[in-house]
Amino acid sequence: MRHPCLILSLLCGLVLVAPGCRLDTAGLPENNVNNVNNDAGADVDVADAAPDADADAGHDPIVVTSEVRTYPVPASPANPVTGETAPPETQFVRVVRYFAENPWHQTRAIVLAYPGAQLGAGSYRTLAETLIERSGGAIELWAYERRGNLLEDRTGVDVALSTGDVDLAFAYYGDGAELGGRTFAGVIAGDTPSFMSEWGLAQEVRDLKMVLDFIPEDRRRSNVILLGFSLGSPFVGQFAAWDFDGAKASDQLAGVVMLDGGGKRRSLSEADYHGEGCVGSLGLRIGLDELRAHGPYVQELGLDSGIWIALELAALRASGYFSDPHAEVTDEVLRNLIGIFLDKAGLRLTARAAMAMLVDDQFAPALVMRAGLGTIAGGPVEEYESIMGGETLLRPASTDVLYSWVDYDQTDPAELSSVEEMARLVLSGPTGAMEWYAPVRLNLDVCACDGLDVRPSDDDYRWRAGLRVTRNSEMDAPVLFFFAEYGEIWDMSFIDNYLLSLPEVGPGRPNAGAPRDPALPPHLTGFSKIVAPRYHHMDCILAAPETGADYLYEPLVDFILANTEGTVSAPLP
C-alpha cells in the first residue's frame, strides 16, 4: 500500500492523455434504496416513441429513485505466475437500478448499462435520470459495476456525506485520521494486486450475463437495451457477438447502444497479445506475459490512483451540499493536485473552479475526463504546453487573484454540462462515479477481440482463452452509435466496418427487416449514427437535460422505445 498522503507526483509515460481531436468523418455492502431526483422531466408518447408535450398533462413530476444490490460471483482464477488469488471481498458485483417512483407508464425498456474504464455505476446517474424523466418512467436503467470497485475505501467520503463535515474526509485520506475505528491504508499500487491479471473480458461477460438473467427470458429480446460508454462501448459490441454454449447473445437483446466508443477494428495478433499489448482506451501498453509476471495490473492514467480520491474530495467542496462552492479552496491536497495538472503552483481557485480545472475541455489534460462545463472568470488566462497532454491548453495566468467559475448555462453560447452536476455525479453512491482500480486485463482482451472475428477453433488463441466473440455476423439487433465531435473515436471507418459486418434487423423485432441505414432517423433504422458537435467525451453521459436534448436524449429515447415492445417487470432480486 502507498502512504496516505495524496500530494501526487507524476509518473513516466503519460500516453493516455493524448491530444483531443475532432472526428474524421471520412466485504458485502448493505443493499439500500435512495431517492436521487425530484425534478420534472419531459415525456414521450410510448406508443410511437415521438415526443408529445400534451400526452401526460396533469401528472405529478417524475421522481427518480435508485436501489442498490450486491451479488456474489464466482472466484476468478489465480494468477498463473504469482499464484495469488483474489480476496473474498472482491467476489461481488453491484447493480444500481434507477427507476421512476411514480411512473406515468408501465416499464417498456430496461437499459442495462456497462461502465467505461475508471468509472462505476454512479457514472450513469445523469443519463438514467434524464431517460427516465423523458420517457415518463417507461424506461429504467440498471447500472452494472465491476468487482474491482469493492477494493475502494470510501470511508472518508461516506462519513463526510453522512455528517456534513467535509473536513473529516480530508483528514481521513490526507492526515491519517481515524474514522469509525478505521484508518486509510493508502491506495493500492498498480503493480500490487497480481490477482487482477485474470480480470478480463470472459469474466466480465459472465458477470454481466448473470445480471441479464435477472430479467425474465421471454422479455429480454423485446425489452432489454444493452448500453456502454467509452471502453464499455466495444465491450457491449463484443457481448452482443458472444456465443453462450451455442446460443447467440443478440437473441436476448432488443438493441445495442454505444456512446463514444466501439466499432470494428483490427484485432491483436497472438504475438502482440502476449508481447506488446495494445493502447486501447486507456493508453497503457502491456502484453499478457508481462502483465501476469509483474504488472501493472491497474490503470492509473500515469498517476497514482489517489487521483480519484482527490477528485472525490474536490467534488465534496464543489457540490454545494455542505458549504459555499464559491469559497476559495485552501486544502493543500487540492491546491497541489491543481498545480500538478496545470504545471503552475500557487493558484487561487473557488471550489467550483478547482473542480472544473480537472474536467473542463479548456483545461483538463486527460481526454477521457473532458466535458464542456463553462468558463473561468476573475482574472487572465494563458496558453501553455501541457507536459501531461502534449498539447496547448489554458490555465489561470495569475497567482494573486481568486478565480471563479461560470457554469455551462451562463455562457454564450451555452456549454453542455454542469460542474455542479459533475461534482454530485462523482459522489453518487455507493462507490461513486469513479473506479479507483480499473483492470488492465480487460482492456487487453477487448483489444484482442476488436475485429469481432474470433474463430471457434483451437487454432485461434482467443478461443483457447475462452473469448467467444464468434457471432457478430449474426448480430441482428438494432444499433445506435453516439459520438462526441471531440471524443475518443477519430476514424469513422471503424464504424463503417462494423456496419458492413452486420445482417439486417432480425425477425420478431419491432423493426424487423429495417435497413442498416444511418441516414434514417433512429426509430426507423437498424443502424443509427449520431455525431454531436461541440461534445467532449464526458458530455456523452453528463450533458444537461436541456443542452443534451437534440443530439443525445431525444434520439436515444426514440431508439429505445421504437425497438422495444410490451412491458416488463423485473425488480432486482
pLDDT of residue 59: 81
Letter for the amino acid at 144? Answer: Y
* Alpha carbon distance 181, 168 (integer Å): 14
End-to-end CA distance of the chain: 36
| Confidence (pTM) | 0.91
Count of Cβ atoms closer than 10 Å to residue 493 Cβ: 12
pLDDT of residue 281: 53
Enumerate helices (H) and strands (E) in the chain, giving the number of each: 17, 20
Residue 533, SS3? strand
Q: How far is CA 396 from CA 380, 392, 528, in A?
A: 6, 14, 41
Of 237, 299, 202, 302, the closest CA to residue 489 belongs to 237
Phi and psi of 47, rounded to 5°? -65, -40
Give residue limits of the domains in the chain: 310-420
Reported as a single tens digit per residue, the pLDDT across 233-285 is: 999 999 999 999 999 999 999 999 999 999 999 999 999 999 999 876 556 78
Percent of the chain at pLDDT exceeding 90? 77
pLDDT of residue 280: 61
pLDDT of residue 285: 86
pLDDT of residue 44: 31
Q: Which residues of the chain have pLDDT under 70?
A: 1-57, 280-283, 301-303, 389
Of 217, 210, 211, 227, the closest CA to residue 252 belongs to 217
pLDDT of residue 368: 83
* Alpha carbon distance 240, 234 (integer Å): 10
Of 280, 282, 212, 271, the closest CA to residue 240 belongs to 212
Reported as a single tens digit per residue, the pLDDT across 91-146 is: 999 999 999 999 999 999 999 999 998 999 999 999 999 999 999 999 999 999 99
